[in-house]
Structure 1
């Protein structure tokens, strides 16, 4: 049963719901890769999972269906949580998973969990290291942390490529070896990983363009129309020129040494 909600004072901007209206997985991970990760972890039925910044709850819902896990997802977006609850009902796992409207920053469950996850929202802990520390607070001894994070696939040649990849500075992201080395330096064993590829990025990002276009066609006078039109005009080229070439993304399973 989900703990009582700690209702945050703010919600995600409406543009997020528009941009990702057709998505079930809210990061550059295809449903197949999410399923691969769940199978790779070999989770026994009854595994307790906490998913911080859970989005539409696809991890919890599909893993409850496929592996019998139980758990709680936490997110600040009411629209995403509505979708998560609907998905749980659709997959008939609403008795196994619950969702809490709360700020995932600093959220710790009442009871320790077997798996604590944050896939692609490491801003909740101020970066990779801080998010892993946050997840560990709710983890039972011997449990597993799952963290989804970006990294440089290739070293960007200049500041234009850095900013085109949605980073402020080259130091905002590590290379994949640097990221893995950092886990070890902080006392964690990397025990599994599933990495996105360029097609994963395309499926995530390109679907946003169609969502935006259909919204603009249906709501040409919406207050967000100008902002979203500007995004649609620039985002495809930015993606193929920079993000697709230079940025990787993956989920890393960690266990404390």
Structure 2
């Protein structure tokens, strides 16, 4: 049980596996007014940056669950580096269906709502671990503006225009599920650049060091086409944000 290697190659230098900068992650933690001892469950926790930095900065405790062995080991190392290994635990496992043994104060899935088959299913999964009155965090893409055609949607790595909503409709979806949006921090084009463009250097350095690897042709093809695809389509049309929700 693991992520395909291409994912860990592509994002090998990343501490955040989504279009958030450290500053935006810190701003989100501050905006939520996290109290020391807040219990957090982070599903699809990646390299653990959210849990580790919030443990350091706000005194939270919690558990992260991720399917990647590489990212889980990075998360554990980060916890040691920041001196919070006694506050946070990282589990290698499938976040799909994972429910905390005890209710938590904050349940999060930041950028991986496929674990619940979409936004609605992920909200349902997270609420299974959340105490009454607790906070939920959902990280989710949205269209920055209406997508004109299938070509554009495909170039934004969507199956079709209906894969994502424009921002007001996404906010309304949360309301339709019975939740108030009580905070949000949105990626901007600069944070998208820092996430996406950093992948190109990772790919090139890996390719230079592994020219005979079985993935070399796939990596070369991606590196050849991805910068133009991203700048022509994804940078202009695809947004992303983290939304804090509370049940009504």
TM-score between both structures, scaled by the size of structure 2: 0.99
Pairing partner for 2:63 from 45, 66, 72 = 72
Shift of 1:195: 0.2
1:242 equivalent in alignment to 2:242: no
User: Which 5+ residue runs of structure 1 have no aligned equivalent?
Assistant: 1-9
State the distance in 2 between where 1:99 and 1:190 align: 28
Q: CA deviation at 1:163?
A: 0.5
Moved over 4 A (4+): none
Corresponding residue for 1:116?
107
- Residue 223 of structure 2 corresponds to 232
Aligned partner of 1:98 among 86, 89, 93: 89
Could you tell me which residue of structure 2 aligns to residue 140 of structure 1?
A: 131
Partner of 1:195: 186
Moved more, 79-88 or 10-19: 10-19
C-alpha separation in 2, matches of 1:88 and 1:176: 34
Query: What residue is the counterpart of 2:19 in the other structure?
Result: 28
Scaled by the length of structure 1, what TM-score is found?
A: 0.96
Q: Distance in 2 between matches of 1:102 and 1:201?
A: 28
* Cα deviation, residue 168, structure 1: 1.0
| Count of aligned positions | 248
Show the counterpart of 2:201. 210
Aligned to 2:242: 251
- In the TM superposition, what is the alpha-carbon distance from 1:100 to its structure 2 partner? 0.6
How far off is 1:238 after superposition? 0.6
Q: Deviations over 1:62-107 (max 9, x none)?
A: 0000000000000000000000000000000000000011100000
Counterpart secondary structure, 1:44: coil
Question: 2:44 matched to 1:39?
Answer: no
1:37 counterpart SS class: helix
Tell me the distance in 2 between the aligned counterparts of 1:256 and 1:158. 35
**Partners in 2 of 1:121 and 1:54 — Cα distance?**
9
Q: Does 1:54 align with 2:45?
A: yes
Partner of 1:185: 176
The alpha carbon displacement at 1:154 in A equals 1.2
Find the residue that maps to 1:251 and give its secondary structure: strand
In 1: Cα distance, 2:9 partner to 2:234 partner:
21
- Alpha-carbon RMSD across the aligned residues, in angstroms, is 0.5
Match of 2:152 in 1: 161
1:219 equivalenced with 2:210 (yes/no): yes
Shift of 1:159: 1.0
Separation in 2 of the partners of 1:18 and 1:170?
28
C-alpha deviation, 1:43, in angstroms: 0.6
